[in-house]
Amino acid sequence: MKTEYEINYSKFVNEKYNDVWRWIKIKAKDEEAAIKKLREIRNVNYILSCTPVKND
């Protein structure tokens, strides 16, 4: 069963570019699969968090 994960990520984190943090929700079997899927669809260098979303 797939779980929905909310991932907070950024492309750049340094003094040359402004820090731009974004959020995305991805359904995957686990956190590792969610991060892998994110890296396949977006050019991501930094991941701040990956947490399961509770749907009440």
This prediction has a pTM of 0.80
pLDDT of 45 reads 82
Domains of the chain plus CATH, in order, are 3-52 (3.10.20)
pLDDT of 23 reads 94
pLDDT per residue as tens digits for the range 1-56: 889 999 999 877 666 767 778 999 999 999 999 999 999 998 888 899 999 998 65
pLDDT of 21 reads 85
- Environment class of 32 (CB within 10 Å of its CB; exposed 0-12, middle 13-18, buried 19+): exposed
Rounded to the nearest 5 percent, the helix, strand and coil shares of the chain are 20, 40, 40
pLDDT of 55 reads 67
Contact 4, 53 (CB under 8 A): yes
